[in-house]
Amino acid sequence: MRATGINHVSVSAPDLEASVRFYTEVFGMERVPAPKFPDQVVAWLRLGEQQLHLFQREGAPQYHHFALDVDDFEAAYLQVRNLEVRDDATFLSGIRELPGGEAQMYIRDPGGNLVEVNWPDASSLDRGVVSDIERLVDVVPQDADGLAARLYTRAAGHAQNEPLGQG
């Protein structure tokens, strides 16, 4: 398994709307739909084919993270399980399916940094291997924006299950 690119970076925004205005007005980022999560308010901003995720949450620094795309999510899942580095506490479940069908898994590196591992199509995963995915919509009811949220900003010609940077 290899990382294929940085999917997004997520940082704290104690005043979420002020941060959204800052990044949209100063850098021209575009606000895109974001799902609802428990215990935090989020805003997702598009920056080319990547995203900046802003979140408003008590105790924010422990939630700062960056997200990697991988070329083989099942291999990453097995390696993470073998190394026992999955973080199942920070965001409830260490692995989940987002409303847009993407899979995400949270781990901690040896320095304690939170790393999110992403895959564009949870339905393509072998559930005999990745057996404990929790669907976010089963945990937090989603409004229309939450259901429209997409972790991947696909350019024309990218297949549904093809991570950006792979085609």
User: What are the CA-CA distances from residue 71 to residues 6, 13, 67, 113, 116 (Å)?
Assistant: 12, 31, 14, 22, 14
pLDDT over 90 (residue 14): no
Domains of the chain: 3-147 (3.10.180.10)
Q: What's the pLDDT band for 111 if we cut at 50, 70, 90?
A: low
Q: What's the pLDDT band for 66 if we cut at 50, 70, 90?
A: confident
Average pLDDT over residues 65-88: 91
At residue 58, φ and ψ (nearest 5 deg) are -65, 140
pLDDT computed for residue 154 by the predictor: 66
Lookup result for tokens 């949209």? 24
pLDDT computed for residue 156 by the predictor: 34
pLDDT computed for residue 13 by the predictor: 85
- Give the span between the Cα atoms of 100 and 34, in whole angstroms: 10
Q: Are 77 and 132 in contact (CB under 8 A)?
A: no
pLDDT computed for residue 155 by the predictor: 44
SS3 139: helix
Check residues 107 and 100 and name the one with the higher pLDDT.
Answer: 100
Two structure tokens written together for 49:
């084919």
pLDDT over 80 (residue 19): yes
Q: What's the pLDDT band for 167 if we cut at 50, 70, 90?
A: very low
| pTM (two decimals) | 0.71
Residues 92, 96, 98, 99: is their CA dihedral positive or negative?
Answer: negative
